Amino acid sequence: MNLIRVILVFSVFATGCIRPSSENKRTPSQTEQTCAPALQSYTQLIEPIVEKRCIKCHVLGGSGALLAAFQAGDAAWNMAVFSRLKGGNAEAVFKKASNQESHAGGKQLEDSDLDKIKTFFTAVSQCAAPLPGGPQAALCNGKPLPRRVNLLSRLELKNTVREIAGIEVDVNIPAASAVEDGNKNPRLAFSNDQKSRTIDPNLAFNLKQTAATIAKDFTPAKREALGCSAEPLTDSCLQTLGARVYRRPLVAEELTDLKTLGTFANVVTYLFQSPDFLYRTEMGSETSGETMTSYEIASALSYLLTALPPDTALMEAASRGALHELAARRTQAERLLAGATTANEALQKFFVEWLEIGRSETADKVGTYDGKAVFAETQAFIKKVLSEDGSLETLLTREEGGRLGILQQKAFLASHSNNNSTAPVKVGKTVARNMLCLALPPPPANVNNELKDTPDLKTTRAKLAMHTANATCASCHARIDPFGFAFENFDQLGMSRMVDNGEPVNTRVEIALGLSIDKAYESSDDLIRSMSQSQELTACFDSFFQQYAYGTLSCEAQTLNPNTSIREYILNLISSDRFITRI
């Protein structure tokens, strides 16, 4: 309970007093302004019930299945879990927990508890956005990020070298591994996630070799543009080259150090393996306090929106210290987002990694399948959505070639299927985990994924019925499989079909998970349209976009509706104090 109070107090205190000042102070969010009664009623009325009764079964490893389990002593988490039960329907929650509707744990609530639950959910309904905390938003606690260094991603390094040296290199900087622990937020395998930033000997060696390659192949035109055509190298050359590589001006000592290296080849070999090139720093300076330096902000903006180093205009704005100002930052971001191809490449990469559709490009499939064309088609689709200033709703429901939104694109369906059959579990898992942030534990270690050939069970869906027949499997697959079965009218290539192994396909599913989208659906069309309007989708997207933007599992909930343009959402994100603050 005390934790909630601390959060509330700190939230008000911090937004008013402690946060380092930028030119334009952030005002408390709508959520913070309107959710105080909900937070108060939870701590006073609900948390005692949860800690004393619910948590006995609805805990990780316990017998009770919920979207996410309660955690002893974590009031913020538990509040968010509770707020999502039965889609926020107090009567339904009471009916279940009081055993009026069959409840494995028997009667846990007294009649008087109904009023408490109603009070809480009424207060929750006044919030402008979902409560902070819980499966998708527990991480969105607004906690400031620490001072840190961010290793360039594979794409960022490739693009940066091309911009400076005019050549193509490709260093296999690994993406983070996806993490599922069954309760906390899943961590997706974004290629810029800083969980994987350790420079081990293999990576260090590859980087060293790449630096030598850059020195060897640096194009004469780029060298000339830097004023470095002739040797001995001039101070001007070293300062210009150094500033491009470090994305900030050199300090005097660094210039002296570069001079000791002598040749252009040695200087380039050193610069492109130096930490100030490999890492994008977010450390601020002795004078900037807890705010990133203007040059660091320029890099943060540029790499997020374009996967490129800051261009001349951004560096010029940084040199004036202008990027601490919200308006200037937003203006620069709008300019970068308007640059058609580069911005799209960086943002497309987020969507490709969020929905894990990259594997469609290289997938081996039984049947006529051109992975490159399939993937390119979806890239073009994402580009259209972005260029049309589309929203999440647009992404999910824009019709193209008879297909509804990105989930019916061949690339999505082919990415989440086997080489010779559909894989409803893979589709379902991606929708449940990546789009709705449902908590999914990892599969059991000894799980057998082979579907037996049984003469009586012809369709993939029929074979997967064992998931619901077996109680152990059902505890998780009830949250996964329905989202996949809805897409069974598409085969492993993503092509439309009416039959599976000679039997008619069945796409009818019922979602009964305590979500706002709970109901029966005839097909993926209905499900997609419903999801596109759901608060679960927007909150989940918000947390994952921020994982991508910050390269770590940490975020501050942003206001986002299904029809908010993705562009506007991003502009709001970079306008926040949190974007430029590191403590």
Partner 1 sequence: MMQRTRRAILKDLGIVASTPLLGTFGLSLFAGEEAWAQSIGGKPLKFLSISFPHGAVNGDWEPKRLPDGSLSLLESKILAPLEPFKNRLAIFSGLGHETLKPPGSLSPTSTHAGLAASFTGLATGDSKGSSASIDFAMSQMLFKSDKVLRVGCFLSYNAAQGLDDVPSEICYSGAGDSNRLSVIAHPQKSFDRAFAAFTSSAPTPEETAKKQADENMNNLLRKQLARLEKRLKGDELNVLLKHRETIEGLGKGVNAFTCAAKPVITTSGFTAADASMAAVTQRQADVVAAALACGTVSLASIEIMSRSHGSYNMNTVITSDPLSQIKDLSPLLNSTNFHNDVAHKLSTDGNFNTEEQKAFNQSQRWYMEQVAYILAQLDKRGVLDSTLVMIGTEMGHPQHLGDAAPFLLAGGGFKMGRWFEHKAEKVQTYQHRCTPHNHLLVNVAQRFGLNVNTFGDTRFQGGLPADTRGQMLEPVL
501-510 residues labelled b (16+ CB within 10 A) or e (exposed): eeeebebebe
**In terms of C-beta density within 10 A (0-12 exposed, 13-18 middle, 19 or more buried), how is residue 551 classed?**
buried
* DSSP β-bridge partners for residue 399: 404
Of the pair 201, 502, the CB lying nearest partner 1 is at 201
How far is residue 423's CA from residue 449's CA, in Å, rounded to a whole number? 11
Q: 534: phi > 0 → left, psi -120 to 50 → alpha, else beta; which?
A: beta
Q: How many DSSP H helices and E strands does the chain contain?
A: 29, 8
Q: Which of residues 52 and 147 has its CB atom nearest to partner 1 in the complex?
A: 147
Closer residue to partner 1, CB minimum distance, 280 or 461? 280
Chain center to CA of 307: 16
Length of the chain: 583
Single out the residue of 470, 330, 335, 494 nearest to residue 409, CA to CA. Answer: 494
Rounded to the nearest 10 degrees, how much is the dihedral formed by the CA atoms of 534, 540, 543, 546?
Answer: -80
Cβ neighbours, 10 Å, residue 126: 11
> Least distance to partner 1 from the beta carbon of 430, Å?
21
Between 420 and 470, CB nearer to partner 1: 420
Cβ 77 to partner 1 shortest distance, Å: 22
Peptide bond into 444 cis (omega under 30): no
What does the alpha-carbon distance between residue 500 and residue 36 come to, in Å, rounded to a whole number?
Answer: 52
Question: Residue 357 Cβ, how far from partner 1 at the closest point, in Å?
Answer: 17
As measured in angstroms, the least distance from the Cβ of 223 to partner 1 is 13
Footprint of partner 1 on this chain (CB under 8 A)? 146-149, 167-170, 172, 174, 197-202, 204-206, 208-210, 212-213, 216-217, 257, 260-263, 266, 269-270, 273-276, 279, 281, 283-284, 362, 364, 418-420
Across the chain, which distance is largest between two alpha carbons, in Å? 87
Host H or E run for residue 10: helix 2-13
Amino acid at 434: N
DSSP 521: E
Least CB distance to partner 1 at residue 252 (A): 13
Smallest gap, in angstroms, from Cβ of residue 198 to partner 1?
Answer: 6
Asked if residue 169 lies in contact with residue 55, where contact means CB atoms within 8 angstroms, the answer is no
Cα→Cα distances 348→288, 395, 574, Å: 33, 12, 18
Min CB(245)–partner 1 separation in Å: 12
End-to-end CA distance of the chain: 27
Rank residues 273 and 378 by Cβ distance to partner 1 and give the closer one: 273
135 vs 242, beta carbon nearer partner 1: 242
469, containing H or E segment: helix 466-469
Residue with tokens 């290539």: 493
Q: Rounded distance, CA 394 to CA 404, Å?
A: 10
Cβ distance to partner 1 smaller for residue 212 or 243: 212
Of 16 and 146, which has the nearer Cβ to partner 1? 146
* Tokens of residue 580, six digits: 């430029």
Q: Strand, helix or coil at 11?
A: helix
Closest contact distance (angstroms) between CB of 570 and partner 1 is: 26
Contacts for 401 with CB less than 8 Å, ≥ 6 apart: none
CB of 453 vs partner 1, minimal distance in Å: 14
Cβ-based nearer residue to partner 1, 163 or 217: 217
Cα angle 377, 379, 385 (rounded to 5 degrees) comes to 105
- Output 359 or 529, the one with its CB closest to partner 1: 359
Closest CB 214 distance from partner 1, rounded Å: 10
Minimum CB distance to partner 1 smaller for 274 or for 306: 274
Q: Which is nearer to partner 1, 189 or 283 (CB)?
A: 283
Task: Tell the smallest beta-carbon distance from residue 449 to partner 1 (Å).
Answer: 12
Least gap, CB of 445 to partner 1 (angstroms): 13
3-state DSSP call for residue 35? coil
Q: Which is nearer to partner 1, 282 or 526 (CB)?
A: 282
Nearer to partner 1, 135 or 551 (CB): 551
Task: Give the nearest distance from C-beta 203 to partner 1 in angstroms.
Answer: 8
Distance CA 231, CA 158 (A): 27
Smallest gap from residue 270 Cβ to partner 1 (A):
5
Six token digits for residue 163: 């911009």
Structure tokens at 498: 């009416």
Tokens representing residue 65 in the block:
């299945």
Provide the 8-state DSSP code for 441.
P
